[in-house]
Amino acid sequence: MKKYIPNLITLCNLFSGSLAVIFAVQGNLVAAAFFVALGIFFDFFDGLAARALDVKSDVGLQLDSLADVVTSGVVPGIVMFQLFTMALPGDDGVKQWTADTNWLEFTFNPLALFGLLIILGSAYRLAKFNVDDRQTDSFIGLPTPANALLILSLPLILTYQPNSFATGIILNEWFLFALTIISVIILNAELPLFALKFKNWGFKGNEIRYIFLILCVVLIVLFQFLAIPMIILSYVLLSLIKS
């Protein structure tokens, strides 16, 4: 019976991601962010449960990636699409290919579809992860949950920490174009990044992990949601220093 526990936790991740998709499509980006965070929480513990119960399996590995495609791939892609929709100029009905039929009618700026590249980049990164034996104790490229948190932090900043400077940057279409491209690249770059996997709780050998966790707490206390992009940047920089 215990062999099903990790997969059940993974399915909770998938269910949370599915709810996040619904909210993201409806434009409720705060609720989408909440359910993505919940899904990432389950994603962290399914691996711990599999190792603790010694029930790791190939099915569990594939199921984990499939759940992550939704929670950490599809949702941030839709959120980026929604941010593009808010940022791009135009009226409420930009239409294409409606000469004879209305089967394909855009009620949004088609350039907003650029944000969906995050879904493609995330799916490709997860596929590579499943066949890359170098990523057992570390990562090559930014993990999809970290990228999802980065994208989902933007609507949270707009909602809970609004100011003219942050809003002007986040809702600038050129910033969103650049962030989308950088996101896809860094997901799949040959960039070695440490994992928060503790083989023991001693400080020796885990120095970089403890420093990062302390830094996360300090940044969150000082900057709240603005801390999330800082944390992702710090994660990459600390990994480069460690390398």
**Which one is the CATH code of 2-91+106-198: 2.40.30.170, 1.10.357.20, 3.30.70.240, 1.20.120.1760?**
1.20.120.1760
pLDDT tens-digit map of 71-99: 999 999 999 999 999 998 764 444 443 34
pTM for this structure? Answer: 0.89
As averages over each run of 10 residues, the pLDDT of the chain (243 residues) reads 82 96 96 96 82 75 92 98 89 43 70 96 93 81 96 96 93 97 96 81 80 95 96 94 81
Question: What value does the mean pLDDT of the chain take?
Answer: 88
Domain ranges of the chain: 2-91+106-198
Q: HEC profile for the chain?
A: CHHHHHHHHHHHHHHHHHHHHHHHHCCCHHHHHHHHHHHHHHHHHHHHHHHHHCCCCHHHHHHHHHHHHHHHHHHHHHHHHHHHHHHCCCCCCCCCCCCCCCCCCCCCCHHHHHHHHHHHHHHHHHHHHHHCCCCCCEEECCCHHHHHHHHHHHHHHHHHCCCHHHHHHHCCHHHHHHHHHHHHHHHHCCCEEECCCCCCCCCCCCHHHHHHHHHHHHHHHHHHHHHHHHHHHHHHHHHHHHC
